[in-house]
Amino acid sequence: MKKTVTTLADGRELLYYDSRDDVVRDAVDRRPLDAVSTSSEIRRDPLLGDSVAIASHRQGRTYHPPADECPLCPSRDGRLSEIPDDRYDVVVFENRFPSLAGDSGRCEVVCFTSDHDASFADLTEEQAALVLDAWTDRTAELAGFEQVKQVFCFENRGAEIGVTLGHPHGQIYAYPFVTPRTELMLRSMEAHRERTGGNLFDDIVARELADGDRVVLTGEHWVAFVPYAAHWPYEVHLHPRRRVPDLRELDEGARTEFAQVYLELLRRFDRIFGPGEPPTPYIAAWHQAPFGVRGREEFGVHLELFTIRRTSGKLKFLAGSESGMSVFINDVPPEAAAQRLREVASE
């Protein structure tokens, strides 16, 4: 992997990640951009104890532009975009409309490919491995920021999820606090250790492998399963067999096999609802250990992949119980979801 660091016309950082070492990235951003002005603020909710980012400047962000005006495509044929070069493998840059900025953290955009009409599932194994390298490199660098407590790499895919740019891309949020979901995991992890003496992540993976009903696919280094108490109609958790706290500590075997396993999972997701159905909307979320917390080395990095589509043409809405009380109601038994995801392997 070759990494090239440059800046955009408004001073934001942009990084090219290339699979070849002889690629030269010297294109200049020729857009007449003003310096980025943000008003991101973190407010603490005294009732729930969680944090909310107030970011009014995001009201003006780009919203469903036509394909020929996509800001994530390369700059070519006289049209200038967020990426100055006329081609790229993987690109990461500071978000122009960040939810978190300055002392409040950092937000970055990750473009998986220059092909506007592709999806992550269309990538080759080499391309997917390069994206993993970029996620890992950004985790390592953002870990060195004094204000950053947790790095979250994720992809939102599909208009139903709320995606406003159709180009295949994801984001990285560097939070100045430990997120509520991770706090819950840390508490559960500690309680499990005190109760059993074991590691929660190891024991969950062992239980799913022993049971087998919810396992979707396995490899030498990874295992993917629908969790016992899945919140979403189709939800898969992907764990490395050798537990590590974050992406930086995956060994070469796990890094190599990840591309094969993850691409297969995404392709199965697109076949869940049968032929002729539009691409399955999903969220793919990496859960990494936060920095400077007790028991960090006991945390198990894993990816959670889920869709809000519950059946053909119908979405799973977060209504009263889910939104009002955070109590999920799942219409699809996890064992049935796992069976379907195993079936579509041959379709």
Measured distance between the N- and C-terminal CA atoms of the chain, rounded to whole angstroms: 34
Among the listed residues 19, 24, 215, 238, the one whose alpha carbon sits nearest the alpha carbon of residue 130: 19
Contacts of 278 (CB under 8 A, 6+ apart): none
The 10 Å Cβ neighbour count of residue 161 is 15
Choosing from 167, 169, 192, 239, the catalytic residue is 169
Which spans in 295-333 are helix H? 325
169 is catalytic: yes
The two tokens of residue 66 are 């036509």
Contacts of 45 (CB under 8 A, 6+ apart): 51, 52
The 10 Å Cβ neighbour count of residue 257 is 19
Which spans in the chain are helix H? 125-142, 180-196, 200-211, 252-269, 325, 334-343
Number of H helices, E strands in the chain: 6, 15
Q: Where are the beta strands (DSSP E) in the chain?
A: 2-7, 13-18, 41-44, 51-54, 90-94, 106-111, 150-157, 169-175, 215-218, 222-225, 234-240, 282-287, 302-307, 309-311, 314-315
> Residues 266, 268, 273, 277: is their CA dihedral positive or negative?
positive
Rg (Cα) of the chain, in Å, rounded? Answer: 20
Residues acting as catalytic residues: 169
